[in-house]
């Protein structure tokens, strides 16, 4: 079985929680203004800065396609507290910075290591779920897009139709890499215009 690569990937638009924190604060991560300007990122940086420096490593090995069995409710954004809990702060409930999107939008996945994909699945939270007060569980999600086998390439764009959803939601993306049984899980926060 091949070994893990030094770099892997993430959703970059809408950004995963840890990629967004790294993108906004990576050059200024000790700035105390983060505590008031971006409190969810602040708590994440305080909990484990490596979760942001390693924004491209939020995965688990050997899920065998049983994502719900491998990742418990309330731990979806940390991939079941993978990497010895490195990403646990991604599960924190609160007002993560969200990007505005139209109801028809694109999810972009950066595949730095050119792993390719057996598939990508994109889920959205159901209308009525409140990510500001509720932990994310599997029953809160609805599959809205799926892309099958994808050859290795640096960027993959997935078209998504959010239907009649309005307000704040979580985009949950699963990337099943094709180089080995390696599953990536990304929470991205959006507000539908």
Residues 120-130: pLDDT tens digits?
999 999 999 99
Residue 2 has pLDDT above 60, yes or no: no
**Is the CATH number of domain 9-192 2.70.50.50?**
yes
Residues 98 and 2: their CA atoms lie apart, in Å, by 36
Residues 100-119: pLDDT tens digits?
999 999 999 999 888 899 99
- Locate the domains of the chain by residue range: 9-192
Residues 52 and 34: their CA atoms lie apart, in Å, by 14
Closest-CA residue to 113 (of 152, 149, 62): 152
CA distances from 121 to 89, 143, 183, 186, 193 (A): 23, 7, 11, 11, 23
Whether pTM > 0.85 for this model: the answer is: yes
Residues 54-72: pLDDT tens digits?
999 999 999 999 999 999 9
Partners of 110 in the β-ladder: 10, 155
Residues 115 and 120: their CA atoms lie apart, in Å, by 12
Instruction: State residue 114's pLDDT score.
Output: 86
Angle at which helix 39-47 crosses helix 17-25, to 10 degrees, equals: 100
Residues 19 and 101: their CA atoms lie apart, in Å, by 18
CA distances from 101 to 123, 171, 188 (A): 15, 11, 12
The pLDDT confidence band at residue 73, using thresholds 50, 70 and 90, is very high
Q: How many CB atoms lie within 10 A of CB 149?
A: 11
């Amino acid at each position: 079985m091949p070994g893990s690569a030094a770099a892997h990937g993430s959703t970059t638009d809408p950004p995963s929680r840890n990629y967004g924190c790294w993108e906004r604060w990576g050059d200024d991560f000790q700035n105390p203004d983060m505590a008031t300007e971006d409190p969810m990122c602040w708590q994440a940086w305080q909990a484990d800065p490596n979760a942001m420096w390693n924004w491209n490593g939020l995965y688990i090995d050997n899920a065998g396609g049983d994502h719900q069995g491998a990742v418990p409710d309330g731990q979806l954004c940390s991939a079941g507290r993978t990497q010895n809990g490195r990403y646990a702060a991604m599960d924190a409930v609160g007002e993560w910075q969200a990007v505005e999107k139209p109801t028809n939008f694109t999810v972009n996945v950066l595949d730095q290591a050119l792993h390719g994909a057996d598939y990508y699945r994109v889920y959205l939270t159901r209308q009525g779920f409140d990510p500001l007060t509720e932990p994310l569980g599997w029953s809160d999600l609805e599959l809205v897009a799926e892309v099958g086998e994808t050859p290795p390439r640096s960027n993959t764009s997935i078209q998504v139709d959010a239907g009649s959803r309005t307000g704040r939601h979580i985009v949950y993306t699963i990337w099943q890499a094709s180089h080995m049984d390696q599953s990536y899980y990304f929470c991205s926060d959006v507000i539908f215009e």
